[in-house]
Chain A
Amino acid sequence: MLKAHGITKTFGEGPSRTVALRDVDLSVDYGEMLYIVGPSGSGKTTLLSIISGILRPDAGQVVVKDRDIWTLDSDALAGFRLQTIGFVFQDYHLFPRLTTTENVAIPLILRRESWEQSLAQARRTLRIVGLETKEGLPPYKLSGGEKQRVAIARAIVSEPDLLVLDEPTASLDGETGRMIVSFVKENILNAHRAIVIVTHDSRIYEYATRVVRMEDGHIIPGGG
């Protein structure tokens, strides 16, 4: 469903110039739970941002569901992200002053679905992640693992084709991290969806369907 080809990205100029990605190729298929692993600074977040339409590459092509996404203008790109991609951020980024339900409903509201329908769908999704009892609470009253489940609910509420998670377990203890990831694999992954997870948490490797290893802006051949 996703093919990235020849992705190159540099940051900065002069002495502070950093080549974050050099000529990277990557493809992802439906039904995959792909891990991108590697040492800090190897370019994992940069690659994930480029394939999900957040960061523009200096060179290369990303084709998602037959669309060459980096030829789109910024509004069309925002529309693409909204329709196709679900994001889970490392520090959740939930609005502390909205209830969990309202937070989860945001992608639907951005899609201009009605308030009532959005909230109803958000409640159903909270049930999927096992948080139906936390509906009316603000996120700061939840534990770290619960917050991450709310973030996952927000990412999947609009049924995206591709779910991207950057270090989803970094702020969680080991047991909770494993629970979250196994939950994602069992309940969220399906034949119509692909999941890409960036992590260097080796405790969760067992849940991957495929692992690619990065080092210094490259994907190591056969490094899984």
Chain B
Amino acid sequence: MSGLLRIALKLLLNDRGKFVTLVIGITFSAFLMTQMTSMFSGILHQSAANIINVGAKMWVMDPAVETPQNSIPLPNYVLDAVRSIPGVKFAVPLYIGAGLVKLDDGTYQAATIIGLDDATLFGRPTMIAGHILDIYKNNAFIMVKDANYPKLNSPRIGTSFEINDHRAVVVGLAHTAIPGLFGLPTLYTTYTRATEDLPPTRYQISYILVEPKSRTDILPIEAAVHHLGYLALTDREFIARNDRFYEFKTGMGTNILMMTLISFFVGLSIAGETFYMFILDNVEHFGALKAIGAKSRELIQMIVFQALVVGFLGFGFGVLLSSGMIALAKLKIPNYAAMVTYLTLVLALVMVLIISIFSSYIGIRKVTRIDPFDVFRG
């Protein structure tokens, strides 16, 4: 490190009070920003649970569907029409719906029912107990063992209950990649049984899952489905559509954006103000440095360095704090949605850098304007 930067660092560190205020201010701001954005990306991630857990490459849906949380049933002819599109390797129906489970003790619990295509069981979960083929047995359901599993009184193989007044028997336990957002237990069964046991509407296909022959077939399939009056999306596109829904159409995104901005401005004002006072305290000495022969560029380097040091320290502590909090919360609350991603980190880093740049900018303005002659005159 150059001697000047070393001097800059000493000036900063030795002003204990302001240094601590600066770091705490930025830490707090970075902590809140990461916390907010992590919470939101966790929500987005879990709200896409069905898309990720089923794992189909393409999804066909009614154009009004915005999120896998609800679906609009498709008429059966669409399945045949999709199957006849060139480039479609295979297409199968999927049922996603809500069922009302009546437990042994007489209480009710809502659950997500997923009905897999009878012929292929495409989109099946990973089994951890029992065999997937048992799904074909009478009244058979496979229960996902996630954070919501205890809500059905932690059933074992052979446990039975009622779903929408039909008898249901648990024949296996399964594991899925991520739990859903709304804390509902998930039960898998066959498409036929799902559509029989749940209150029938005229149409029953929630989604058609499509496996294209190759990647190049994706665009033509999307065009052909569009021609049918429906919407085909790849899994990524569907997740993005779901993200946009939560970001812009639920009020959740706006609120979190506002909270993030508020945290940013709180950090900006604390750090900006304190840094300005720090520079003011030293401004005459910077003027003396100028008189002695420091170039403006060197003074700017010192100030930017000081602002970056507190910025990175605050960012580091803030991220540590929020990751720690999230990890702790996840231990205690199995369904806790927050998730620190690269994006949330990059976002917080960019915001913190803006705080640093802003703070050093006001410091630099002050310092480049001092006239060494005024310092000399005392």
In this assembly, does A78 line the interface, its C-beta being within 8 Å of a C-beta of chain B? yes
Q: How far is the CB of A178 from chain B (nearest CB, A)?
A: 21
A112 touches B378 (CB 8 A): no
B261 on the A face (CB < 8 A)? no
Q: What's the nearest-Cβ distance from chain B to residue A13, in Å? A: 17
Minimum CB distance partner of A114 in chain B: B3
Q: Is A186's CB within 8 Å of the partner chain B?
A: no
Would you call B10 and A98 a contact (CB within 8 A)? yes
Contact B289 A110 (CB under 8 A): yes
Which residues of chain B from 267 to 320 have a CB within 8 Å of any chain A CB? 282, 284-285, 287-298
In Å, the complex CA distance between A200 and B215 comes to 90
Task: Please tell me if the beta carbons of B292 and A87 are within 8 angstroms of each other in the complex.
Answer: yes
Does B366 lie at the interface of the complex (its beta carbon under 8 Å from any beta carbon of A)? Answer: no
A93 and B373 contact, CB distance less than 8 A = no
Q: Which residues on A sit within 8 Å (CB–CB) of B14? A: 97-98
Q: How far is the CB of B279 from chain A (nearest CB, A)?
A: 13
Chain A residues with CB below 8 A from B55, complex form: none
**At the interface, yes or no: A100 with Cβ under 8 Å from chain B?**
no
**How many Å lie between the Cα of A154 and that of B7 in the bound state?**
15
A89 at the interface (CB under 8 A from B): yes
How many angstroms from the CA of A113 to the CA of B4 in the assembled complex? 10
A residues 35-94 with Cβ under 8 Å of B?
Answer: 45, 48-49, 54-55, 74-75, 78-83, 85, 87, 89-91, 93-94
Judge whether A112 and B376 touch: CB under 8 Å: no
Q: Count B interface residues, CB 8 Å.
A: 30
Are A82 and B3 closer than 8 Å at their CB atoms? no
Residues 111-138 of chain A: 1 if any B CB is under 8 Å from the residue's CB, otherwise 0? Answer: 0111100100000000000000000000
- Give the contact-size bracket for chain A: 35 or more
**B372 contacts the other chain (Cβ, under 8 Å)?**
yes
Contact of A166 with B294 in the complex, beta carbons under 8 Å: no
Return chain A residues, CB-CB under 8 Å to B375.
89, 93
A-chain residues with CB within 8 Å of residue B293 when the two chains form the complex: 78-83, 85, 107, 110
Q: Is the interface of B mostly helix, strand, loop or mixed?
A: helix
Asked whether, in the complex, the Cβ of A106 is within 8 Å of the Cβ of B292, the reply is yes
Q: Are B10 and A75 in contact (CB under 8 A)?
A: no
| A95, CB-defined interface residue at 8 Å | yes
* B365 proximal to A (CB < 8 A): no
Q: Is the CB of A45 within 8 A of B377?
A: yes
Tell me if A112 and B3 are in contact (CB < 8 A).
yes
Query: What is the CB-to-nearest-CB distance from B93 to chain A, in angstroms, rounded to a whole number?
Result: 73
Interface assignment of B201: CB less than 8 Å from any CB of chain A: no
Indicate if A189 sits at the interface (CB-CB under 8 A): no
Does B134 touch A at the CB level, under 8 Å? no
| From B2, B14, B284, B287, residue with most partner A Cβ within 10 Å | B14
Give the contacting residue for A89; candidates B4, B7, B288; CB below 8 A: B288
From B11, B284, B377, residue with most partner A Cβ within 10 Å: B377
A20 to B372, CA, bound (A): 17
Q: How far is the CA of A28 from the CA of B10 in the complex (A)?
A: 39
Q: Does A102 contact B (CB under 8 A)?
A: yes
A89 to B376, CA, bound (A): 6
CA distance A95 to B285 in the complex (A): 6
The interface residues of chain B lying within 8 Å CB-to-CB of A83 are 293
Is the pair B291, A106 in contact by a Cβ cutoff of 8 Å? no
Complex CA distance for A45 and B291, rounded to whole angstroms:
14
A75 and B295 form a contact (CB under 8 A): yes
Instruction: Report A159-198 CB contacts with B as 1/0, cut-off 8 Å.
Output: 0000000110000000000000000000000000000000
Residues on the A chain within 8 Å of B298, using CB: 110
In angstroms, Cα B292 to Cα A107, docked, is 7
B-chain residues with CB within 8 Å of residue A208 when the two chains form the complex: none
Report A206 CB to chain B, min CB distance, Å.
25
Q: Tell me if A1 counts as interface (CB < 8 A to partner B).
A: no
> In chain B, what residue has the closest Cβ to A79?
B293
Checking B285, B294, B378 against A78 with a beta-carbon cut-off of 8 angstroms, the contacting residue is B294
Encode B173-198 as 1/0 by CB contact (under 8 A) with A.
00000000000000000000000000
Chain A residues near B285: list those with CB within 8 A.
93-95
Interface pair A118/B3, CB less than 8 Å apart: yes
Contact of A106 among B7, B297, B373 (CB under 8 A): B7
Most-contacted residue by chain B among A78, A87, A98 (CB, 10 A): A78
Contact B15 A106 (CB under 8 A): no
CA distance A83 to B288 in the complex (A): 15
A-B contact pairs, 27 of them (CB 8 A): A45-B376, A54-B372, A54-B376, A75-B295, A75-B297, A79-B295, A80-B293, A81-B291, A87-B291, A87-B292, A89-B375, A89-B376, A90-B378, A94-B285, A98-B10, A98-B11, A102-B10, A107-B293, A110-B293, A110-B298, A112-B2, A113-B3, A114-B3, A115-B6, A118-B3, A154-B292, A166-B378
9 more CB-based (< 8 A) A-B contacts, given A48-B376, A166-B376, A166-B378 = A49-B377, A75-B295, A79-B293, A89-B378, A93-B284, A98-B10, A98-B14, A114-B3, A167-B378
User: Which B residues are closer than 8 A to A by beta carbons?
Assistant: 2-4, 6-7, 10-11, 14-15, 282, 284-285, 287-298, 372-373, 375-378
User: A-side interface residues toward B, CB under 8 Å?
Assistant: 45, 48-49, 54-55, 74-75, 78-83, 85, 87, 89-91, 93-95, 97-98, 102, 105-107, 109-110, 112-115, 118, 154, 166-167
